[in-house]
Copies of this chain bind each other. A is one copy, B any other.
Amino acid sequence: MAVSRDQILTKATEHLNHSPAASMAEIAQSVGISRATLHRHFATREALMVALGWRALDAWQGVHERIGLGETPAGERLEETLHALLIAQIEAAENYGFALTEQAMETDRALVTRAEELEAKEIELISACQRAGILRADFPPIWVSNTLYGLLLAVRESLRRGDVARRDIPRLVLETFLRGTTS
């Protein structure tokens, strides 16, 4: 095979990141293969999207493993873990931003389930941070989680429109998320 399944997924991800409604024909072209070959690897558009979704969730889970989430973190490392999560999420969103609004993520049962599990782990961390006084406790944890979601969408939009430089993103998100916009 001239083009591996993994290469297809990578190229498709890149293309969908700046053209989320692309057709199979567009995706095939961006990968550099024919429509037929693309269909040989992924029978339907749905199948392709689900495969991309799993890959995005792999990256998300990779973030969790890398920062040691789910290992009942001691109080000392809570803040450190939270910051690492934010940084890693930004990076993941830059690569898999399209998945943030891909509707296959809400259609496919398995994807939904897995995404909920990952989200639950983050909410657990947020709750722990609230109990430890690191994060304010007068917000529902789910709102804090959704806030991060919104900021990642703001990142995607900022990059797409060229509003801010890529290298500034981590600082902007971290500061905005943690301290807000007030001086």
State which residues 160-183 of A face B: CB under 8 Å: 163-164, 168, 172, 175-183
Docked-complex contact A136 and B172, CB < 8 angstroms: no
Provide the residues of chain B in CB contact with A182, threshold 8 Å. Answer: 134-136, 178-179
13 A-B pairs (CB sep. < 8 Å): A21-B103, A136-B181, A136-B182, A136-B183, A138-B175, A146-B154, A147-B176, A150-B150, A150-B153, A151-B154, A153-B154, A178-B182, A179-B179
Closest Cβ of chain B to A173, distance in Å, is 9
Docked-complex contact B163 and A140, CB < 8 angstroms: yes
Closest Cβ of chain B to A80, distance in Å, is 14
Q: Which residues of A contact B (CB under 8 A)?
A: 21, 101, 103, 130, 133-140, 142-144, 146-147, 149-155, 157-158, 163-164, 168, 172, 175-183
Docked-complex contact B137 and A183, CB < 8 angstroms: yes
Provide the residues of chain B in CB contact with A179, threshold 8 Å. Answer: 179-180, 182
Provide the residues of chain B in CB contact with A103, threshold 8 Å. Answer: 21
Docked-complex contact A146 and B158, CB < 8 angstroms: yes
Provide the residues of chain B in CB contact with A176, threshold 8 Å. Answer: 139, 143, 147, 180
Q: Which 5 A-B pairs have the closest CB atoms?
A: A150-B154, A180-B180, A150-B150, A136-B183, A179-B180
Docked-complex contact B143 and A163, CB < 8 angstroms: yes
From B21, B135, B168, contact of A181 by CB (8 A): B135
Closest Cβ of chain B to A87, distance in Å, is 15
Say whether, besides A136-B183, A177-B181, A181-B177, A149 and B142 are in contact (CB < 8 Å): no
Docked-complex contact B181 and A144, CB < 8 angstroms: yes
CA gap between A135 and B163 in the complex, in Å: 19
Provide the residues of chain B in CB contact with A180, threshold 8 Å. Answer: 175-180
Docked-complex contact B181 and A139, CB < 8 angstroms: yes
